[in-house]
Amino acid sequence: MILPALFFYLFAGACIASAFMVIAARNPVHSVLYLIFAFVNAAGLFVLMGAEFLAMILIVVYVGAVAVLFLFVVMMLDVDFAELRQGVLQYLPFGALIGVVMLAELLLVVGAWVIGPGVPRAITAPIPADITNTEALGRVLYTKYIYYFQAAGLVLLVAMVGAIVLTLRHKAGVKRQNIGDQVARTRDTAIEVVKVRPGQGL
């Protein structure tokens, strides 16, 4: 049992260290790279917990799409991040003080924590051990949870329509390709056969 524990500390330590470097790094590109590293370590933690599907999704969605998007934005926008962050370390003691006070308050609250008497009864379905969680998700996603799946699809449709409504501009006077017109051309409409007599021209 020593190996999982070792890996846990490796991933957790690397995750926290890289998360700290995200806010401490001077170069914004380095920050994004540290963020990616933090995501990968979090995925490792998920694998240790047996949630391999979540781990892969974290890699695919956050590392593959979101972090790359961040990287693009950081590289495209000419924002002086170093100037924006000036004074962060100056405010660090004050921020840390507030953090400590909040932590103390939370601990006091958690100290008086009582789980309701009906709660253990409500937890019914145990996690099945014989199938992988990708398979388990696949079995219910399109059957039991079809409603949520379709609703999420509608949310994405609204997002797409919204993005187009708010950004697409039709410029007048731009010539666009009309494939229908192009395909519908026949020899009769496209060329004209002309008899040219010698010496006369058209």
Partner 1 sequence: MTAATYLPLYPAIPEIVLAIGAMALLMLGAYRENSTQVVNLGAVMLLIAAALIVHWLPNGVTFGGSFVVDGFARFLKVLAFLASAVAIVMSLHYQAAEKQRMFEYSILILLSAVGMGMMISAADLIALYLGLELMSLALYVVAASNRDSVRSTEAGLKYFVLGALSSGMLLYGCSLIYGFTGTVAFTGIAKATQGGAGIGLIFGLVFVFAGLCFKVSAVPFHMWTPDVYEGAPTPVTAFFAAAPKIAAIALFMRLAIGAFPGIVPQWQQILVFVAIASMTLGAFAAIGQHNIKRLMAYSSIGHMGFALVGLAAGTAEGVQGVLIYMAIYLAMTLGTFCCILAMRRAGGAVENISDLAGLSRTNPALAFFLALLLFSLAGIPPLAGFFAKYYVFLAAMQAGMFTLAVIGVLASVVGAFYYLMIIKTMYFDEPAEGFVPMPGELKAVLGVTGLFNLLYFIYPAPLLQAASAAAKSLF
Which residue, 24 or 102, has its beta carbon nearer to partner 1? 102
Which residue, 90 or 124, has its beta carbon nearer to partner 1? 124
Instruction: Look up residue 171 and give its amino acid.
Output: K
The reply to whether 124 sits near partner 1 by the rule CB under 8 A is: yes
Taking the complex as a whole, how short is the minimal distance between the CB of residue 199 and partner 1, in angstroms?
Answer: 50
Which residue, 116 or 201, has its beta carbon nearer to partner 1? 116
In 25-64, which ranges are continuous DSSP H helix? 28-49, 52-57
The reply to whether 146 sits near partner 1 by the rule CB under 8 A is: yes
Q: Which of 93, 117, 173, 201 touches partner 1 (CB under 8 A)?
A: 117
Which residue, 112 or 129, has its beta carbon nearer to partner 1? 112
**What does 11-22 look like in DSSP terms, one character per residue?**
HHHHHHHHHHHH
Q: Which of 78, 87, 91, 118 touches partner 1 (CB under 8 A)?
A: 118
Q: Tokens 């890289």 belong to which residue? A: 18
What are the tokens at 40? 């990968």
Q: Which of 107, 123, 127, 183 touches partner 1 (CB under 8 A)?
A: 123
Cβ atoms of residues 193 and 187 within 8 Å: no
Which residue, 121 or 197, has its beta carbon nearer to partner 1? 121
Residues 26-45 interacting with partner 1 (rule: CB under 8 A): none
Q: How far apart are CA 90 and CA 103, in angstroms?
A: 21
Q: Tokens 């496209």 belong to which residue? A: 190
Q: How far apart are CA 68 and CA 47, in angstroms?
A: 23
152: left (phi over 0), alpha (psi -120 to 50) or beta: alpha
User: For binding to partner 1 (CB under 8 A), which residues are involved?
Assistant: 109, 112-119, 121-124, 144, 146-148, 151-152, 154-155, 157-159, 161-162, 164-166
